[in-house]
């Protein structure tokens, strides 16, 4: 898969990985850094195989299917492990108090207590005074079980990675990308009113509510790295590698603008089917970003596999995979406006980079150019939501 580049880790079985980590004296914090930097998943078999090894020697509870976790108000029967990573595991649970299926995030206790408490505080801030936001996962409760912080959320469907991988060429049409960008802009607009920076926007943290019954309705999840703007420390290395804003790479200020950069990278990825900036380390990434002037002069887009496009100009008039020219003037204009929006979201200067409000008012989102083109049928979620 062109979107998955850490194959050296994924191709090795769990025992080999553990042996390699131990022989190289790689500690858990290094594994966490690798996972966050290159966005590879720590599989459940690795976590289970290493439960008695140095990678997991401080963790005294391993959540598994069939377990019953209790809180002061209810109990939760684990039905399925739906996600795992450096943070811990996300489980699908049946809540005893109402038989409702919920998602329960069980954090590893290898982190300081402050990490779980900070995330709970952020989640509570997002729920204060109202029922939350339609494009942000609904948070329900937090509690501790066996020394582990647990956060309860509504049950959602699949994440954007899974959705993209189910599509031909792992791409979406502009009529599908548009409502997703609009919903992320509204989510970030809401975070801005709360003074929160997400700090880890990526496809894995955008989830469908129900990709069959409510196609293209998405919600932002995972606030483990989120922080209030005033508490963000300059120089902190946040964001997943391929979606990291240039100012973060050079130790600059962490503001709401870094989330906009991430959305721009995700929007381009949804259209192209691969990472916008393919790089092997942070220096290579900065070389691509800093010298890529494609944002302004349509230079080559670096791609891990050959396609028929050589610059963003080709996106205006050709299908990126078939190379066929577009015949519809409306479709051509739609692509031109999409690329224009990308330029503004990926402005190297965070001060002049687009805000959520700018995104929502851009013609690509408002569709003012498509009112009489018959291309509006898939754009229900671009409509403004009062929440």
- Exposure string for 296-309, b = 16+ CB within 10 A, e = fewer: eebeebbbeeebeb
With CA atoms as reference, report the closest residue to 269 among 238, 243, 244, 246: 243
Long-range contacts: 337-343, Cβ < 8 Å, 24+?
A: 337/362, 337/363, 337/364, 337/369, 338/174, 338/177, 338/267, 338/271, 338/364, 339/312, 339/315, 340/364, 341/181, 341/267, 341/365, 342/264, 342/267, 342/268, 342/295, 342/312, 343/295, 343/296
**In whole angstroms, what is the distance from residue 364 CA to residue 178 CA?**
7
Point out the catalytic residue in the list 200, 222, 334, 347.
Answer: 200
Q: How many CB atoms lie within 10 A of CB 88?
A: 24
Q: How far apart are CA 224 and CA 230, in angstroms?
A: 17
User: Is 194 part of any known ligand binding site?
Assistant: no
Active site residue 200: yes
Of 166, 176, 175, 173, nearest to 218 by C-alpha is 176
Q: What are phi and psi of 159, to 5 degrees?
A: -90, 175
CA distances for 202 relative to 48, 74, 142, 157, 178, angstroms? 26, 32, 24, 16, 16
Give the HSE-up count for residue 75: Cα atoms under 13 Å, Cβ half-sphere.
Answer: 7
Q: Which residues of 200-235 are buried (b: 16+ CB within 10 A; e: fewer)?
A: bbbbbbbbbbebeeeebbbbbbbbbbbbeeeebeee
Asked if 229 and 248 touch (Cβ cutoff 8 Å), the reply is: no
Which structure tokens are listed for 116?
């779980």
For the chain, the residue count is 387
Residue positions in the annotated binding site for ATP?
105
Residues involved in catalysis: 200
* Annotation: binding site: 105
């Amino acid at each position: 898969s062109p979107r998955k580049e850490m194959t050296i880790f994924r191709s090795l079985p769990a025992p080999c990985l553990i042996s390699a980590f131990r022989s190289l004296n790689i500690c858990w914090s290094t594994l966490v850094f690798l996972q966050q930097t290159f966005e590879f998943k720590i599989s459940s078999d690795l976590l289970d195989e290493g439960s008695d090894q140095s990678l997991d020697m401080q963790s005294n509870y391993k959540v598994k299917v069939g377990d019953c976790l209790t809180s002061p108000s209810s109990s939760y029967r684990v039905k399925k492990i739906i996600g795992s990573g450096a943070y811990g595991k996300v489980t699908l649970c049946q809540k005893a108090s109402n038989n409702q299926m919920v998602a329960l995030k069980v954090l590893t206790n290898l982190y300081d207590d402050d990490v779980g408490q900070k995330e709970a505080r952020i989640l509570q801030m997002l729920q204060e005074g109202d029922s939350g936001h339609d494009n942000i996962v609904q948070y329900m409760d937090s509690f501790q079980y066996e020394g582990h912080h647990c956060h309860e959320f509504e049950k959602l469907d699949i994440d954007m990675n899974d959705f993209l991988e189910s599509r031909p060429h792992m791409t979406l049409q502009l009529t599908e990308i548009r409502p997703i960008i609009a919903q992320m802009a509204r989510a970030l607009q809401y975070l801005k009113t709360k003074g929160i920076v997400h700090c880890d926007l990526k496809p894995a943290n955008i989830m469908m509510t129900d990709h069959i019954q409510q196609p293209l309705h998405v919600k932002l999840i995972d606030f483990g790295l989120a922080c209030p703007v005033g508490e963000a420390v300059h120089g902190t290395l946040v964001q997943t590698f391929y979606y990291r804003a240039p100012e973060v790479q050079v130790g600059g200020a962490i503001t709401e603008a870094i989330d906009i950069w991430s959305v721009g990278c995700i929007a381009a990825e949804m259209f192209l089917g691969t990472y916008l900036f393919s790089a092997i380390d942070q220096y290579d990434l900065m070389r691509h970003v800093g010298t890529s002037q494609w944002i302004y002069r349509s230079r080559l887009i670096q791609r891990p596999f050959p396609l028929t496009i050589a610059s963003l100009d080709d996106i205006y008039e050709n299908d990126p995979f078939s190379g066929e020219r577009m015949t519809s003037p409306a479709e051509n204009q739609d692509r031109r406006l999409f690329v224009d929006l990308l330029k503004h979201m990926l402005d190297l200067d965070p001060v002049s980079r687009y805000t959520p409000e700018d995104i929502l008012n851009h013609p690509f989102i408002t569709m003012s150019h498509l009112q009489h083109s018959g291309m509006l049928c898939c754009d229900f979620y671009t409509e403004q939501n009062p929440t």
